[in-house]
Structure 1
Amino acid sequence: MTTYHVFVSYSHDDADIVADLAGRLERRGIRVAYDKVLVRPGSIIFHEVQEAIRNSAHGPLVFGPASMASGPVTNEYHTLLQRSMYDGRLPIPVLVEDVKTQDLPEFVKIRFYSDLRGVSDAVFDRRVDEIAEAIRRAS
């Protein structure tokens, strides 16, 4: 049984856009986990994140320059990718900031991604609708 529809993997440099993305997904009925909603006083973030990944049906992977250089985020990406291979979870690449598509990991290049780089609020909303629909179809 899953507790969350999605666990969002991202770099803290992208925290504002992730909070916006998570809020919009939640308004569409998608239960979202990411470190800011998981961590409580005294909690061990590594354990909370691992538990959330285990208990999430799918995983948006937010790609920006900082996330591509982050060891912890890379580990989350690999964990989510492994879960997709073994139990059908859907990794959803989401591009933010100045990330160059040619620099994306190979497992992302083979998937259709959601591009939030420099889009208007209306386009952002449409892309969130697309992500939410993909999550519903895969669940």
Structure 2
Amino acid sequence: MGSSHRVRVQWDCDGLNLLVSIRDDGQGTLTVHDESLRPIAERVTALDGILSVDATPGWGSSVDVTLPLNPRSDTRPLADGASLTAREYDVLRLVTAGERNQAIALQLGISANTVKFHVSNLLRKLGARTRAELTALALSR
């Protein structure tokens, strides 16, 4: 998180999720797309969790992670052998219906950033370069 002098890590549980909050007093320039967060974001996404970042320039950054205590373990193979999680199927269904990330997030009760990670995983798993190509591939299967 940059040139921080103090970092606060807090753990909690709401009964359904493990909640992790990390705050620093750094430069406040961290974003959810920061390359240093990519490994964390990928793992959080794989567990159907939520990663959010809030930063205030000059005041520091806050990274919040919500991980379900009982993550979905079911995966369903597509015709070509690619396996998708149930959440990826939910996102794919809405992408093929033409929904935008914010609308998908509202319908599924997740953040728009989490939708972006799921779409990114779908593009990679299905070998598509664009949402249109992703939709065409999904509809052809």
What interval of TM-score do these two structures reach, taking the shorter chain for normalisation? under 0.3
Higher relative contact order (CA 8 A, sep 6+): 1
Name the structure with the higher strand share: 2
Give 1 or 2: higher helix fraction: 1
Larger radius of gyration: 2
